[in-house]
Amino acid sequence: MEQFWENEFIQTAAYYSVVILCIIVFLAIFELVTKYNNWEEIKKRNVAVAMATGGKIFGIANVFRHSIMHNDNLFVMISWGVFGFFLLLIAYFVFEFMTPKFKVDDELQNNNMAVGLISMILSIGLSYIIGASIS
């Protein structure tokens, strides 16, 4: 059985499956903390929400990328990915706090593409910082 789990194709399929599941769960958590429904806004062609959501997906995937590269154990990889996600979630609240002149959620819902772009860049940029710290 050990030889089965050491197969690179099996490991890739396992990592892929776990990361897809985590992305779904993490996006659901983001959905709970925003005032709007991401997928409804995207369906209405809200580019700002699409950029912010895309940044979240990229950020989560990038954290997991680094976690996979630096950990041979699936459980440890998941643990680092979950930790990285929570750091990205904290960054979302910090971004809201750092913009006292407007509410990020309201601006995204109103299709403010400038806020969507900053939100996307923030998620992507911080995912590189988080990823660099994973060992």
pLDDT tens sequence across 58-111? 999 999 999 999 877 888 989 999 999 999 999 999 999 999 999 999 999 999
Nearest by Cα to 59 from 88, 33, 80, 86: 88
For all residues of the chain together, what is the average pLDDT?
93
Provide the b/e sequence for 84-123 (b: ≥16 CB within 10 Å).
bbebbeebbeebeeeeeeeebbebbbebbbebbebbbebb
What pLDDT score was predicted for residue 6?
79
pLDDT band at 135 (very low <50, low <70, confident <90, very high): low
What is the number of H-type helices and E-type strands within the chain? Answer: 7, 0
* Measured CA angle at 25 (ends 27, 13), to 5 deg: 110
